[in-house]
A and B are shown apart, each in its own frame.
Chain A
Amino acid sequence: MLAYLIRRAMQAAVAVLVMAVLVFLGVYAVGDPVDILISPEADLAEIEEARRRLGLDRPLIEQFGIFLANALRGDLGRSFVHNEPALRLILERLPATLELAVAAMAIAILLGIPLGMLAGLRHDRPSGKAIMAGSILGFSLPNFWQGLMLIMLFAVILGWLPAGGRGETVPLFGVEVSFLTLNGLQHLLLPAVNLAIFKTALVIRLTRAGTREVMLQDYVKFARAKGLSERRVVLVHMLKNILIPVVTVLGLEFGSVVAFAVVTETVFAWPGMGKLLIDSILNLDRPVVVAYLMLIVLVFILVNFLVDVLYTLLDPRVRLAERHG
């Protein structure tokens, strides 16, 4: 068990290292960073000076060592545009993105589970088929286009909701949040729905499959035979068993919601870290790009590692397979 955990941790560390090498090579070795790092008006002496200051005259491997050592200390460079440490810039925008992601997950669960159960219980009726057709559209249509249509309908044509921005925020435990003010909620609704569409479609499919599987099982038949109301059978006996896989998958999907927020934040001008990434790419603000990529890669690998560890703790079959394999 311990050996497995150590091996798995080493694999995660190797994955982080590989990504660090890729990002480093991509940003520092492709093209001359001096072109981007200092102003075009600088003369030759200034360029040489900058080279020495940035350590670009040293061998690549040594530069990588410095980059890595700085990264381990949490120093991922300074933004050219904002002249602030890149990491701090990103962390400042983290709450906005997290708020959006949590709201989207909440919508996906509150909408997806009832709709999915309905589609499962009525899988051969028009209502069930309509829900599935809707979920296919939610899956296959590009997310940004769905967002544009939301803006066109609710902001431009109907004029009910604002088209972008975050609105009024109030501090909650020292973090600015917008869901506690009416204006903030109005701003949050459209982007959250947009980000939720894809995950709602996923939850509908999972719940529908779970419902169809569970509804044939003996304990459901037994509950019905016992004379329990349909309501109780569905909402208590079936729902509990459907929820387990749905919750597991949703936990795993949270990272991808944060990644997809890049698109939604750009469409709705939501001031989160995804919009910061796109702005930084367009402004050639490379330290911020590097910092964002390293951070998100680290989070993803960490989440995957934790999930693996949890599975090993919860499911003895994984451990046994490991021992035999």
Chain B
Amino acid sequence: MSGLSVEARAESPLRRLVAEFVDSPSAVAGAVVLVLILAAALFAPWITPQNPYDLAQLDILDGNLPPGSAGLSGLTYWLGTDDQGRDMLSAILYGLRISLAVGAGSTLIALVVGSALGLAAAYYGGRFEGLVMRIVDLQLSFPAILVALILLAILGRGVDKVLIALVTVQWAYYARTVRGAALVEGAKEYVEAARCLALPDRRILFRHLLPNCLPPVIVVATVQVANAIALEATLSFLGVGVPITEPSLGLLIANGYEYLLSGQYWISFFPGVALVVTIVAINLVGDRLRDVLNPRLQR
């Protein structure tokens, strides 16, 4: 950051980042789709034709209807229905809520826990650092899916348990990223200056070191949200994730799996499309953020 000229500094950094972000059409498209998806998930109870959790609204006679057919109650099922007679469009929007909440929630918790441990490891060093980094190394030597499966085999199903598993899988990335960034930043003069002023540790850690370690963490986090959503979907598809009462997109796909083989594709296919569009949109935004926030690529 020291290489910035006076003119560049006069312009607000946020505005510069936004301007650079908007330069990429695919990233803007990703961001627009992402906003639409978020809005649809957020306002699901008001925009869906049916509450898929309310059994009184379901009619089993409307089961397995293909997309576009009209139900007994006069409702048109634009994306068809599942075996319970559930409107797939409503089920997908509600499932999206669970998938997004679990993905974003676990990423946020993992970010806070991992960053705090990584920062502390870099700042205090010694035994504590050795212990934290050993655990990080040990955990990252196993594939994420395996760690999550071990935990869920022990804990059982449930939204809270999936959250625990996803946080456990992810925190190590943040710990490693933040420690790396903090070691680089900690060797710089402003930290030395802050130490010479005899500022308390807490102030140096959170006001000086942490803000300067954030850009790489934000990049890791955007990619990780997409990974967390994909992992949650995979776990739910395998039947060890969220419970059947609160189906996420992965569980909806699993429920339609047996019908897929008999040609009733819509029960699995449309939740899958929603999942894939969400993941691709997040990745497009994340990729651009990485380019924009990477100081090495800045001219």
Contacts and interface: CB of A to CB of B under 8 A. Distances in A.
B149 interface: yes
B260 to A, nearest CB: 6
Contact of B253 (A143, A145, A277): A145
Contact of A143 (B142, B234, B257, B272): B234
A144 interface: yes
A260 B234 CA distance: 11
B233 interface: yes
B279 A140 contact: yes
B272 A148 contact: yes
Given A136-B283, A140-B283, A156-B263, A148 B257 contact: yes
A255 B279 CA distance: 26
A61 interface: no
A137 B253 contact: no
B143 interface: yes
A142 B234 contact: yes
A318 to B, nearest CB: 15
Nearest to A280: B153
A267 B277 CA distance: 21
B272 A145 contact: yes
Interface stretch (A22-30, A90-98, A231-239): A22-30
Contacts of A259: 142-143, 145-146
A149 B271 CA distance: 12
B29 interface: no
A260 B145 contact: yes
A17 B183 CA distance: 31
Contact of A151 (B154, B261, B276, B283): B261
Contacts, number: 100
A15 interface: yes
Given A27-B154, A259-B146, A260-B145, A141 B238 contact: no
A304 to B, nearest CB: 5
Contacts of A296: 146
Interface string B254-292: 000100110101001100100110011001000000000
A278 interface: yes
Interface string B138-175: 10011101100110111100000000000000000000
A140 B146 contact: no
Contacts of B155: 26, 30
A256 interface: yes
Contacts of A255: 143
A262 interface: yes
A136 to B, nearest CB: 7
Interface string A134-158: 0011001111110011011001100
Contact of B280 (A26, A137, A144, A151): A137
A163 interface: yes
B240 interface: yes
B237 interface: yes
A16 to B, nearest CB: 11
Nearest to A292: B153
A295 B47 CA distance: 49
A263 B153 contact: no
Contacts of B150: 22-23, 26, 293
B260 A152 contact: yes
Nearest to A279: B239
Given A144-B234, A145-B275, A156-B261, A281 B153 contact: yes
A267 B108 CA distance: 30
A61 to B, nearest CB: 19
Q: Among the interface residues B141, B145, B239, B261, which one has the most CB atoms of the partner chain A within 10 A?
A: B141
Interface in B94-148: 138, 141-143, 145-146
A155 B261 CA distance: 8
Nearest to A289: B153
Contact of B149 (A15, A142, A277, A300): A277
A163 B283 contact: no
3 smallest beta-carbon distances between A and B, as pairs: A26-B154, A256-B143, A142-B230
Interface of A: 15, 18, 22-23, 26-27, 30, 136-137, 140-145, 148-149, 151-152, 155-156, 163, 255-256, 259-260, 262-263, 266, 277-278, 281-282, 289, 293, 296-297, 300-301, 304
25 contacts: A18-B138, A23-B154, A30-B155, A137-B280, A140-B280, A141-B230, A142-B233, A142-B234, A142-B250, A143-B234, A144-B234, A144-B237, A144-B238, A145-B272, A148-B260, A151-B260, A151-B261, A156-B260, A156-B263, A256-B143, A259-B143, A259-B145, A262-B149, A277-B153, A281-B153
Given A142-B233, A155-B261, 7 more contacts: A142-B275, A145-B272, A149-B272, A152-B265, A255-B143, A260-B145, A263-B234
